[in-house]
Amino acid sequence: MTSSDETKPVLKMPNRRGFLTATGGATLSAAAVAMLAGGGTLLRSTSAYAASATDVGILNTALGAELQAIAAYQLGAESGLLTPGVKKLALTFQSHHKSHADILRQTVGKLGGIPVEAL
């Protein structure tokens, strides 16, 4: 058996869901999910309003990923390497990440946490 016959390890990049669950197997509480879905008024009438620090940590991790994506698209847009059509598309995707970041930032604040900031 030669060395070329040996199986080489393959590095797989996790998706967001895989990353978030792999970082402790954490899941969001019903309160955090309801707040993300805009159910803040529903929560005020229940005892489920209190969210755990784990929820805030998960949401802050997602917020950090969104902020990194925003920065990456900005870097690409300013690089001069993109054609006008690709740059327009990149900025559209960046705007989606900005919307996600706004929602996550608001939700972290509503849960009593401090949202992470871009470096």
Task: Read off the tokens for 7.
Answer: 């199986």
Domain ranges of the chain: 27-110
**Average pLDDT score over residue span 7-35:** 57
- What are the pLDDT digits (tens) for 96-118? 999 999 999 999 999 889 999 98
Task: Read off the tokens for 31.
Answer: 């309160």
- What are the pLDDT digits (tens) for 25-69? 456 666 666 666 665 554 544 434 455 778 899 999 999 999 999
Task: Read off the tokens for 67.
Answer: 């902020």
DSSP letter, residue 8: P
